Structure 1
Amino acid sequence: MALRLVQVNFKARDDSALGRFWAEALGWGVSSEGPGVTNLEPEGFAWPDPAGFYIDVVTVPDPETVKYRVHLDLASTSAAHQAELVARLKELGATPADVGQGDVPWTVLADPEGNVFCVLEPREIYRDTGPIAAVVVDCADPRAMARFWGQAVDLTVHEVSDDHARLRSAKGVGPYLEFLHTTPGVQTVWNRVHFDLLPDPVDGQEAEVARLRALGATAADVGQGEVSWKVLADPEGNQFCVLGRG
């Protein structure tokens, strides 16, 4: 039995508009499983291809009220490519963002709904990730997060320190999962960007939830009601979903 990080889920005011932005930004395809949900997938992959990584955008009624603890880093292949990508993203509706980054070689932008993301300068480590280099999570203790997520999901720990941890699929595909030391504060509302995990086989959902709880995850209520997925939170309160049969 295995559990893998299969996608990130964006909460949005307008899933269709935000989905179009990210599809054009990444060069991905767009579909919809129903009203209020926009599904994005890389060209050449179909859910749930184990080599693929996906994004779901879901409309919710509540406004943005909290600093995001999860963001995307986008990869570039050269200085020229980075500049071209930033210019194209601005044309699509992204705006410059100041999160106190100072003078850095990457560019910080916000998507049309205010989700902050970074366009990185060329880095060799991200040469084979595709357009998303990493999913980055602010946390208090990168070492503890690496321990939990390294055991929770089919991920290999590549680097870990007091300031930063980097993990990636054991198959060496898709973006990295990174934990960056910050002072995120007490988690009082649910994240607007979260992870979705897929059991293999999908019928193993109940056993995987029990295993995750034994590792330190806790049940979370984000108003989901009766649904086929299970909502949990990691030891620092970041919510995630364990998918089941829909």
Structure 2
Amino acid sequence: MALRPVQVNIKALDDSAVGRFWAEALGWGVSSEGPGVTNVEPVGGFVWPDPVAVCIDVVTVPEPKTSTKNRVHLDLATTSATHQAELVARLRALGATPVHVGQGDVPWTVLADPEGNEFCVLEPRETYRDTGPIARVVVDCEDPRAMARFWDEAMDWTLHEVTDDHAVWRSAKGVGPYLEFLRTGVKSVPDRVHLDLLPYPGDDQAAEVARLRDLGATDLDLGQGDVPWRCMADPEGHEFCVLALS
């Protein structure tokens, strides 16, 4: 049994506006499974779920983002210095704004989407030349080695590197974005952005949830009511959802 990350879930006051921003940013399309939900995913024959892309699901909530930096964010890939500059300019024209999160003098550019969700436009890096528009999903954490122990058992992605500063995974198929847990500090507020995981065909959602509990995850009641997915938190409290196979 194993799970796979299939989408990044972003809470927003206006799911449609934030979804349109991310679709334009990534060159992807939008769809909706119902009121208050905007799906952002690749176009041109893409069939969800697929390891080539971790999609974006934007969900309406009544609460605005606070000034606290999100503990999960996206890093976007570029192929050259010119591409990086052009992408930053295009994103700003779409409504992104520069933000300072203590990054100092770095070669990447830190921006926020129209509702303040931070993301980075990376300088060209050989590691991310074949990831697609999203180079990596980054999760702030307190102990990358502890996160590596939990998440390496929780999902079937390949663990590439573990140090005191970070833990890095990528799909076992060697495609799509990377996932990195980065040492930054203790979680202090609920996550406005989180990962959604999906079982494989033939696996059982309830059995996967039980397995995650045995690994140290806990169940969460966020007022979600009777829904087909299960809300959980990892040992450091990062929220995530286990989706049901449709």
The TM-score, its normalising length taken from structure 2, stands at 0.96
Q: CA deviation at 1:236?
A: 0.6
Separation in 2 of the partners of 1:116 and 1:202? 37
Number of residues of Structure 1 aligned to a counterpart in Structure 2: 244
Any conservation in 2 of the 1:29–1:42 contact (CA below 8 Å)?
A: yes
Q: CA deviation at 1:184?
A: 3.1
Tell me what 2:198 maps to.
Answer: 198
Q: CA deviation at 1:171?
A: 1.1
User: Secondary structure at 1:46's aligned position in 2?
Assistant: coil
- Aligned ranges for residues 45-194 of structure 1 at < 5 Å? 45-65=46-66, 66-186=68-188, 189-194=189-194
Separation in 2 of the partners of 1:131 and 1:142? 25
User: Secondary structure at 1:17's aligned position in 2?
Assistant: helix
The TM-score, its normalising length taken from structure 1, stands at 0.96
Tell me what 1:244 maps to.
Answer: 244
Separation in 2 of the partners of 1:51 and 1:201? 18
Task: Give 1:213's aligned amino acid.
Answer: R
Q: CA deviation at 1:159?
A: 1.1
1:176-206 CA-to-partner distances (Å, cap 9, x unmatched) read 11011111343xx431101110101265101
Q: CA deviation at 1:49?
A: 3.0
**Percent identity of paired positions between Structure 1 and Structure 2:** 76
Task: Give 2:223's aligned amino acid.
Answer: G
Separation in 1 of the partners of 2:187 and 2:32? 35
Any conservation in 1 of the 2:69–2:101 contact (CA below 8 Å)?
A: no
Between stretches 94-103 and 177-186, larger displacement belongs to: 177-186
Tell me what 1:38 maps to.
Answer: 38
Task: Give 1:55's aligned amino acid.
Answer: I
User: Secondary structure at 2:204's aligned position in 1?
Assistant: helix
Any conservation in 2 of the 1:41–1:54 contact (CA below 8 Å)?
A: yes
Tell me what 1:29 maps to.
Answer: 29
Q: CA deviation at 1:245?
A: 4.4
Task: Give 2:143's aligned amino acid.
Answer: D
**Shift in CA distance, 115/195, structure 1 to aligned 2, threshold 3 Å:** same
Any conservation in 2 of the 1:42–1:53 contact (CA below 8 Å)?
A: no
Separation in 2 of the partners of 1:136 and 1:52? 15
Tell me what 2:227 maps to.
Answer: 227
User: Secondary structure at 1:208's aligned position in 2?
Assistant: helix
Any conservation in 1 of the 2:18–2:114 contact (CA below 8 Å)?
A: yes
Tell me what 2:4 maps to.
Answer: 4
Task: Give 2:64's aligned amino acid.
Answer: P
User: Secondary structure at 1:108's aligned position in 2?
Assistant: strand
Separation in 2 of the partners of 1:219 and 1:2? 18
1:82-114 CA-to-partner distances (Å, cap 9, x unmatched) read 000000000000011101111000000011000
Q: CA deviation at 1:174?
A: 1.3
Task: Give 2:218's aligned amino acid.
Answer: T
Q: CA RMSD in A?
A: 1.3
Separation in 2 of the partners of 1:141 and 1:98? 24
1:15-47 CA-to-partner distances (Å, cap 9, x unmatched) read 000000000000001100111000011123122
Task: Give 2:120's aligned amino acid.
Answer: C
**Shift in CA distance, 206/185, structure 1 to aligned 2, threshold 3 Å:** closer
